[in-house]
Structure 1
């Protein structure tokens, strides 16, 4: 093949009217806007997926690490002091422990407070810490759920708009052919494909993260009850 033939082949390939790039460039303004919107949503969705995955992985890992240390027989006062002096922020089970232990020691040092009142206050403090930690883990999950439910309809709207324009243009000619309407329909269907491309990963990630979050929340609940039992025995000793 000569150089001229090669150049001609490359140009004809790059100028393929049915390529995705050309279909996007020749699409109507509303369809182009929808495609760009779906692309931006998809990028943001993937960023949140990676970020939430890292957060949940870290939460599971840190919870297991803290539980191993907690049940190793370490003195609770020393454990609380170590957490307070550490530069790293207290999160997860560490936050539940700190909230409960500090409230327990504060109420126990007050005169005239019954063991039942001490445990009630301690349990409330840990419940508040538990709610805050779960709220941190749930952050941005609602966005993924919204993306999974809304983006297919946004893409479908772009498809309907593009096909509508194609048939309007088709009605203006006397002799219609498939070649005349095919590009318009193809560019419209790209919007639906992009909507699904944004929705499917978001739905999969949301379901997976929700399941993992439930397991972590159960782990927090179990620790809260077990730690309450330890403090209950300490309060009545």
Structure 2
């Protein structure tokens, strides 16, 4: 039994390269194309994740400004700039400055202000949407693309076995390892994409709800301020 040990050791030293780069270089051209495609998809996903995380961080700060402006007794002065809070407050105060029409009830006036703010809010939050479908698609499709590369690689391995008439593990192992490496890359691309997509979607939904709630409060404060101004002018005219 000990006589075969040198041969096994020599086979391990001079066997096929089982490193990640070696598995890629030894793979079939179809499997290589699958690996390259999945690696590019993973890079694009991470670029989208970083960009959307930074964007949502800015939107979160803008929503906090909008919430602060919605507090009772706070004058909703639109801040300078083109951020979400500035756009939303500017849309609301523009409707407020237009004034309440004679046949318009206070509820209708508040609804008009709120509608203008909702429209501005939706326009700003739609900036988060580009790129999210790619994350969802990558998370759903990447494992199957990797599985296709695995199936193709295993088919090539069995074809090599049939041609060489050798079923030893040394002949089968490299081809199977290359094939399984494609599946691993597919999972590496899919798992972060799915997790990031769900996280970004939930965070966007929470920010949307906070901003909508603050917009309703701002519209209510503005309509109440308008009603107070009307009563003040009426009292002054009566005197």
Counterpart CA distance in 1 for 2:95 and 2:196 is 37
Offset of residue 64 of structure 1: 1.5
Quote how far apart the aligned CAs of 1:30 are. 0.7
Structure 1 residue corresponding to 2:82, chosen from 83, 86, 89: 89
**Cα distance in 1, alignment partners of residues 13 and 89 from structure 2:** 65
Q: Aligned equivalents of 2:13 and 2:214: distance in 1?
A: 63
Report the alpha carbon displacement of residue 107 of structure 1 after superposing the two structures with TM.
4.3
* Counterpart among 125, 133, 144 of residue 135 in structure 2: 144
In the superposition, the TM-score normalised over structure 2's length comes to: 0.81
What stretches of structure 1 of length at least 5 have no aligned partner? 1-11
Higher-Rg member (1/2): 2
Deviation for aligned residue 1:68: 2.9
Q: Which runs of 5+ in 2 are unaligned?
A: 1-11, 229-239
Distance 2:87 2:102 in 1: 28
Match of 1:130 among 101, 104, 121: 121
Residue 119 of structure 1 aligns to a residue in which SS?
Answer: helix
Rounded to whole Å, the distance in 1 between the matches of 2:115 and 2:220 is 14
Aligned pairs for 1:1-237 within 5 A = 17-68=17-68, 71=71, 73-76=73-76, 79-80=77-78, 83=79, 86=80, 88-91=81-84, 93-108=85-100, 112=102, 114-116=104-106, 117-237=108-228
How many residues are aligned here?
216
8 Å CA contact retained: 1:152, 1:196: yes
Q: Show CA shifts across 1:42-76 (max 9, x none).
A: 11111111111111112112322443355485534
Q: Partner of 1:236: helix, strand, or coil?
A: helix
Matched position secondary structure for 1:169? helix
